[in-house]
A and B are shown apart, each in its own frame.
Chain A
Amino acid sequence: VQRDNFRTCSQVGFCKRQRALEHGQSMHVVLPDTLKVSKNSATLEVLDKKTDVRFLLNIFGLKDNTFRVKLSEAKPLRERYEPPLGDVLIKEPEREDIVYAGQSGNQLTFTKGSARLVVTTEPFRIDVYSDDDPVISINAQGLLKFEHTRNRPEPPAPADNQEEENKEDGEVNMWEETFKSFTDSKPFGPTSVGVDISFPGVEYIYGIPEHADSLALKTTKSTDPYRLFNLDVFEYELYNPMALYGSVPLMLAHNEKRTVGVFWLNAAETWIDISSNVADKSIFSNLADFVTGNNEIPQTDTHWFSESGVIDVFLMLGPAPNDVSRQYAALTGTTPIPPLFSVSYHQCRWNYNDQEDVRTVDENFDKFDIPYDVIWLDIEHTDGKKYFTWDGVKFPSSEEMLRNLSSKGRKMVTIVDPHLKREENYRVYTEARDKGLLVKTAGGGDFDGWCWPGSSAWPDFLDPKVREWWADKFALTEYVGSALNLFVWNDMNEPAVFNAPEVTVNRDIKHLAGWENREVHNIYGMMVHVATMEGLLKRTNYQERGFVLTRSFFAGSQRTAAVWTGDNMGEWSHLKISNPMILSLNLAGITFSGADVGGFFRNPDNELITRWYQAGAFQPFFRAHAHLDTKRREPYLLPEENINAIRSAIRARYTFLPYWYTLFHLSEESGAPVMRPLWYEFPTEKATFGLDDVFLVGPSLLVRPVTEQGATSANVYFPGTNQLWYDIETYETYKGPAEINVPAPLSKIPVYQRGGSIIPRKMRPRRSSTLMFSDPFTLVVCLDAKQEAEGQLYLDDYHSFGYRDGAYGMVKYSFHSHKLHSTVSHPGTQFTTSEWLERVIIAGLPHEPKRVTLHFSGQTTDLSFTFDNAKNVLTVRKPGVNILQSWGISLH
């Protein structure tokens, strides 16, 4: 990375000012007399004794063990930006009653269920307790700093006032800032907000993507704070807190006892400092609670500050990891179940040059019998980088090309970026310009920046009418040459501007409602893909699901787009970092995420490509991509050994599609990540808290991708006390908790099914997922130490919104007392399928049964079976029942 293209904290005025604060400097007091309590909220005034400015503190009780704490200026000179409902929050969060328990000394106490929120008036702080344990403290370090709106001082200011001013804010960069050759006019002066948030009893915190860093966040004592500011970072560096393409200001704090979450709702540039500490004795009601063993309670302190907006914090009290997922999902929504093709394998490259190239790649996948679902076209497919157009020479008959793909059940994704080429014959641009839909400079003209097409303009996606206009561009009649099997990729939506500060728009550019970019920067990219998805839904009158991939994102992006980790490199270190990066996105609700398989820049060697496919096959979004300057690396071009390993990896992905699909369904319902850190499933096992080279797909698949060059074995951490894990190929078992070295030659992906789980799979390889539509299922039952297991299967038509009207099936499986039960928990009558059950594999069975019988529809029939004595694996032959049936299979 070219570091000097990007600001460090000390080059950002507010970061420098906020970070310079010392503990306890905040002079804020609560005025208890101002307390107003309603059923589910409380309001108090807070006074900054230094400046005499008053603030409003709002405390809301929210449903499902959540508090919302909001601090805003009582009388701002200019309104402060808060993202409108629907943009980030899906709706006004549902309230829940709180009880004001009264004032005692300088403390006001509010309770809600087993949770308690205590406001200390002087110095102002808030402590939140869950079941009497202190879990979150706000302003315990006294770092609250709310730069109130003010008028520009008249220069030269009287000496006294000037001194006052200096004393208050310490310094510089209040009314104008420069970076390199760029000047930020800052017409409204300093507006930053910041406060500290502490987690008593916590050593491990996670979240706040996107950073190329370990999953467990590190202290920032000797580095810059973690930065959230959506940027296009060329050749980004690993293991540092620099900002990347997207931001989700959600943090999870976890210890053996519970998980809590903090969501900092602010769309402006945000920085977060982290330090580890020892908890503050005073918040423990019983001093004995303060000591565990011989040690004082650890604590992690975080310090958040944003360039503008208000302080609006959601405190989600868990207590389990999936509780926090659900609590956060209630605020910002979940990922609707993606169409099945998009969960399959994607083949991308910058660029597939022309129709002939597309045809050849497509044919080669079939020739080499490697399944794939989607082929992608990057920017070169357009006429001069004018999105929604085609290069007429290279793609003279795109509809025919799309039809040919469609005949094999395949799809295409084309890129549509938000920068519009400023060219008179480009209707999308002239229309946007003439209708006044473009973002403006501080001076008022249309902003003009440099991007792929050269001189470009950017629609203001924050404006709902602009989004509507954009969405209409995806109608088949507007996007000429497209078809219903064409989906969309939004890149460069941070937005990236080559000739502007930090490769993005100037902070003082204006959005249509008058907000400056500095106030809304981090949600611009999300609004681009929101509008794009709207377009895809609209073109089928909301009948068919869409698919959009985005590079830039914010909290809420999960509702309308998949995310990839941007322009990574074809290097082993980048393969390795893909695991924590995607895990972090998953914890922050962005479940449908992945990294460019093979690495975008540079030429990975055959071993690295192969290992990357093996990892990608078990990450949620699975797409190979490569830079224009790289050598061709479609899997079939590799040596045979590598082709075979990659084919197996991709086929493995396809066999597990029913499981992925079920996980995505569950994620839509609950917000649960589909790719999970081990601690998410084993929250009391401290050895898992720092692991990010091994992960779980859903609750039941343990994956340890090989990310080391030349490796022939891998150390795998198997979690869980007495927990069995079964190799998905050999059914060899491993028992947790233990770290075990397993053989991992190039052909091997270390993946294990959890003992106690039942995973539905489809074992017949096809050319694309669409062609597997009516293929039969294999149930893989891996027994736990008690000879039990359970699982489930979600089914629908794999592409439409019919499921929202009940057209889906849900089947629960359980195995206990030598009997496997299938229980259909949903269809009703709206959904039927011809899919059936061809095989049941039961692993971990100590003895061969004498007889296996099927109980179905009042009848009992014998089933053939084979038993592998060496592996203790029973294979039951062809139960043959429709998959949406209740039945039982008994082992005698």
Chain B
Amino acid sequence: AQRPRGVSSSKASFYQEGKEFVCLDSGQVIPWEYVNDDYCDCSDGTDEPGTSACSNGFFFCENRAYRGTYIASSRVNDGICDCCDGSDEYEERIQCSNTCEELGKKEKEEREAFRKLQEEGYKIKQEYIQQGKRTKDEKRARLSELEKEMAELTSARDDLQQKKDEAEAPEKEAKERHEKAWEEYKAERQAEKDRVAAIHAFAELDINSDRRVDLVEMQRHMEFDIDSDGTVSDEEAREYLDDSDSVELEKFQERIWANIKDIYKPPQEAMEEGERQPSEQPEAVTPPPPPPQEEGKGEDDTKPAEEEEKMPPYDEETQKLIDAADAARKEYNDADQKVRDAENEINGLKKYLEVDYGPDEEFSSLRGQCFEYTDREYTYKLCPFDRAVQKPKAGGIETSLGKWGHWYGPEEDKYDAMKYENGQSCWNGPNRSCHVNLHCGTENKLTGASEPSRCEYQFEFTTPARCSRPQPEPKEHVHEDL
């Protein structure tokens, strides 16, 4: 029997011509004539499967050569071809051509193409899974290995530290002893030098060689001109002579020399200075070019090289202690470095193992790689599980669109999308973030980037890791009612 318009074969039995019609859900009973009479009688909309009368009804498109589908009743006779067989536009406000065969063919091709894609991608995914699992196992094994090793390494290091401490104590003592002796020797030598210098200066000052230095002799030395008035007055001379009018060598050595040795100049120099004083200073007019600066030369210039006497080498005993301590230190440092290296490696492993790389570790191979996509203005870069960035094509600085946050797919398929968050903040807006949609593909590729809302980016990324087990080859053309 002919089904009423818009009814699927699976529901045909409810529509019995000539019998009263019972609304499918609401249970109202209406005369058969009310079915498909372009007036909505059933509150559930089931009396008008073939018209637009019920706002909550559905029209069944037969769509032979394609696949039967339901459309909302509101799409019946509205001038738009919604069914591929055109059956929804039977009032012919518009001429609909039947596109079902074409559509069916196209769908089949697409399905086939997609199946192939899935198949190919799924193969690669298996490798990813193996690789991922292997990596994970390796990392886990390595981690537990390291964690075990760690105890040994730490205790070895601690032992060596003790040894080092033990070796360093006598070394320190011996070194200090040696250095102290050297300091004492140096002080003695200095005192001797001073004594000689005093005698020498005394002789220079004592022009009349009366074995006394007196005021007149002092006054020949302009360096004693305290108030810089051009002459050394009696008072000034006396000031330096410890309030005496003259002193003999013994007193000079004891009381005078210490006070004047820093300003005292031998007669030749003292005189030159005195002569130069009234004359003009050419330097003031044309300053000399600055001397070429050389590393480490500055001090030598001011204090002419009076070659610093070097500390004599440690004695054999001490040197032995030092060598022993050096050896202990090196051993300790090596052990300490091993601990640190192990710690770093453990942290790295933990960080890796914290991330969810999918139920079968299939996404793990994406880690450590970066993928780029360039549009008219920008190059976008995705480094999975790390970050997303944007860079102007014309050059310029990278803008962070977000750091790896979490999986962002719907509850039932959370690996469908990733979220990168807390990117660079936007002027007058939120921090940038990036939503990455993942699709099955035979290669890892960033295929699109957009900014649907200000500072909220969206990437499209294909990867074999998103390919699912392909469905078995479909049986030839299933036409079914839903």
Partners in one complex: yes
Where the two chains meet, the residues of A that have a C-beta atom closer than 8 Å to any C-beta of B are 353, 357, 369, 393, 407-409, 628-632, 763-767, 770-771, 773-776, 838-839, 877-878
From B53, B80, B429, B450, give the contact of A771 (CB < 8 A).
B80
Nearest Cβ in chain A — how far from B430, in angstroms?
9
A408 contact from B37, B38, B52, B80, Cβ within 8 A: B80
Which residues of B74-88 have CB atoms within 8 Å of chain A's CB atoms? 74-75, 78-80
- Is B65 positioned at the interface, with any CB of A under 8 Å from its CB? no
Q: Is B452 located at the chain interface by the 8 A CB criterion? A: yes
Q: Decide yes or no whether B193 CB sits under 8 A from chain A.
A: no
Residue in A629, A774, A776 with the greatest tally of chain B CB atoms within 10 Å? A629
With a cutoff of 8 Å between Cβ atoms, the chain B residues found around residue A774 in the complex are 93
CA distance A630 to B453 in the complex (A): 7
Is the CB of B182 closer than 8 A to any CB of chain A? Answer: no
Q: Which residues of chain B are near A770, meaning CB under 8 Å?
A: 79
- Cα-based distance from A763 to B451 in the complex (angstroms): 39
Cβ-defined contact, B454 with A767, below 8 A: no
- In the complex, whether B277 has a CB less than 8 A from a CB of chain A is no
Q: Give B residues with C-beta under 8 Å from A.
A: 37-39, 41, 52-53, 55, 72, 74-75, 78-80, 93, 376, 426, 428-429, 450-454, 456
Q: Can you name the residue of chain A whose Cβ is closest to the Cβ of B94? A: A407
- Rounded to whole angstroms, the CA-CA distance of A523 and B166 in the bound complex is 97
Cα distance, A773 to B94, chains bound together (Å) = 13
Q: A369-B72, A409-B79, A766-B74 are in contact. Are A632 and B53 (CB under 8 A)?
A: no
A773 adjacent to B453 (CB under 8 Å) = no
> Could you list 20 A-B pairs, sorted by A, with CB under 8 Å?
A353-B451, A369-B72, A393-B376, A407-B80, A629-B426, A629-B428, A629-B429, A631-B454, A764-B52, A764-B55, A766-B74, A766-B78, A767-B74, A767-B78, A771-B78, A771-B79, A774-B93, A775-B52, A838-B53, A877-B41
> Which residue in A409, A631, A763 is a CB contact (below 8 Å) of B55?
A763
CB-CB under 8 A from B39, the residues of chain A are 838-839, 877-878
Min distance, Cβ A846 to any Cβ of chain B, angstroms: 25
A626, closest chain B residue (CB): B453
User: Cα distance A91–B38 when bound, in Å?
Assistant: 51
Give the chain B neighbours of A353 by CB distance below 8 A: 450-452
Other-chain residue from B74, B376, B450, B456 in contact with A764 (beta carbon distance below 8 A):
B74
Further pairs besides A631-B453, A632-B452: 11, Cβ < 8 Å: A369-B72, A369-B74, A393-B376, A629-B428, A630-B453, A630-B454, A765-B55, A765-B74, A766-B74, A771-B79, A774-B93
Which of chain B's residues has its CB closest to A360's CB?
B452
Instruction: Report the minimal beta-carbon distance from B42 to chain A, rounded to whole angstroms.
Output: 12
In this complex, which of A632, A764, A839, A878 has the most chain B Cβ atoms within 10 angstroms of its Cβ?
A764
CB neighbours (8 Å) of B451 from chain A are 353
- List the 3 closest pairs (A to B, CB-CB), nearest first: A771-B78, A878-B39, A629-B454
Shortest CB-to-CB span from A235 to chain B, Å, is 12
Chain B residue with the shortest CB-CB distance to A408: B80
For the complex, give the distance between the alpha carbons of A629 and B456 in Å: 10
User: Which residues of chain A are within 8 angstroms of B376 by Cβ–Cβ distance?
Assistant: 393
Closest Cβ neighbor of B451 among chain A residues: A353
Interface contact A838-B38, CB-CB below 8 Å? yes
Chain B residues in 8 Å Cβ range of A878: 37-39
A630-B453, A630-B454, A632-B453 known; A767-B37 Cβ under 8 A: no
Q: Is the CB of A764 within 8 A of B53?
A: yes
In the assembly, what is the distance between CA of A771 and CA of B428, in Å? 42
In the assembled complex, the CB of B366 is this many whole angstroms from the nearest CB of chain A, namely 26
Pick the contact of B452 from A357, A764, A771, A773 — CB < 8 Å? A357
- The docked-state distance in angstroms from the alpha carbon of A838 to that of B52 is 12
Residues of B close to A409: CB separation below 8 A = 79
- B445 → A minimal CB distance (Å): 19
B80 touches which one: A631, A767, A877 (CB < 8 A)?
A767
Bound together, the chains give a CA A752 to CA B106 distance in angstroms of 52
Contacts of B428 in A (CB 8 A): 629
> In whole Å, how far is B6's beta carbon from the nearest beta carbon of chain A?
15
Which A-chain residue is minimally distant from B429 (CB atoms)?
A: A629
Residue of A nearest to B455 (CB): A629
- Assembled-state Cα–Cα distance A776/B48 (Å): 15
**CB of B170 to closest CB in A, whole Å:** 73
Q: Which residue of A lies closest to B376 (CB)?
A: A393
Query: Bound complex: CA of A632 vs CA of B93, how far in Å?
Result: 36
Bound CA span A838–B93, Å: 20
B336 to chain A, nearest CB (A): 53
In the complex, what distance in Å separates the CA atom of A878 from the CA atom of B41? 10
Closest A residue to B80 by beta carbon equals: A408
In the bound complex, CA of A357 to CA of B75 (Å): 24
Whole-angstrom distance between the alpha carbons of A632 and B456 in the complex? 10
From B37, B41, B79, B429, A773 is in contact (CB under 8 Å) with B79
A744 to B454, CA, bound (A): 34
- How far is B452's CA from A629's CA once the two chains are assembled, in angstroms? 11
Question: Within the complex, what minimum Cβ distance (angstroms) separates B460 from chain A?
Answer: 12
A826 to B39, CA, bound (A): 28
- What's the minimum C-beta distance from B380 to chain A, rounded to whole angstroms? 15
**In the assembled complex, how far is the CB of residue B448 from the closest CB belonging to chain A, in whole angstroms?**
10
Q: Which residues of B contact A765 (CB under 8 A)?
A: 55, 74
Q: How far apart are the CA atoms of A205 and B451 in the complex, in Å?
A: 49
Question: Would A628 and B454 count as touching, CB distance under 8 A?
Answer: yes
The chain B residue with its CB closest to the CB of A631 is B453
User: How distant is the Cα of A409 from the Cα of B426 in the complex, in angstroms?
Assistant: 39
**Interchain CA distance A144-B79 in the complex, whole Å:** 64
A770 to B426, CA, bound (A): 42
- Give complex CA distance A776, B37 in Å: 13
Please name all residues of chain A whose beta carbon is closer than 8 Å to the beta carbon of B55 when the two chains form the complex: 763-765
Bound-state CA distance A763–B78 (Å) is 14
**CB neighbours of A764 from chain B (8 A):** 52-53, 55, 74
Query: B174 CB to closest chain A CB, in angstroms?
Result: 74
Asked if A631 and B78 make an inter-chain contact with CB atoms under 8 angstroms apart, the answer reads no
Task: Identify the closest chain B residue to A407 (Cβ).
Answer: B80
CB-defined contacts of B454 to chain A, threshold 8 Å:
628-631
Shortest Cβ distance from B327 into chain A, in angstroms?
Answer: 67
Q: How far is the CB of A635 from chain B (nearest CB, A)?
A: 15
| CA gap between A878 and B47 in the complex, in Å | 15
A832 to B43, CA, bound (A): 32
Nearest-neighbour CB distance to chain A for B67, whole angstroms, equals 19
Residues of B within 8 A of A775 (CB): 52
Please report the C-alpha to C-alpha distance between residue A764 and residue B55 in the assembled complex, in whole angstroms.
6
Q: How far is the CA of A774 from the CA of B38 in the complex (A)?
A: 13
Tell me which residues across on chain B come within 8 A of A393, comparing CB atoms.
376
Please indicate which of the listed interface residues B37, B39, B451 has the most CB atoms of chain A within 10 Å of its own CB: B39
Q: Which residues of A contact B78 (CB under 8 A)?
A: 766-767, 771
Tell which of B38, B426, B428, B456 has the most Cβ of chain A within 10 Å: B38
Expressed in whole angstroms, the Cα–Cα distance for A632 and B41 within the complex equals: 40
Counting chain B CB atoms within 10 Å of each CB, the highest count among A408, A628, A766, A773 belongs to A766
List the A side residues contacting B80 at CB < 8 Å.
Answer: 407-408, 767, 771
Rounded to whole angstroms, the CA-CA distance of A631 and B79 in the bound complex is 35
Q: What residues of A have a CB within 8 angstroms of the CB of B41 in the complex?
A: 877
Alpha-carbon separation in the docked complex, A802 to B456 (Å): 48
For residue B261, give the distance in angstroms from its CB to the closest CB of chain A: 73
Nearest Cβ in chain B — how far from A445, in angstroms?
A: 34
Q: Chain B contacts of A771 at CB under 8 A?
A: 78-80
In whole angstroms, what is the CA distance A773 to B75 when docked? 13
Q: What B residues does A776 contact at CB under 8 A? A: 38
A462 CB, min distance to chain B CBs, angstroms: 37
Q: Which chain A residue lies CB-closest to B30?
A: A864
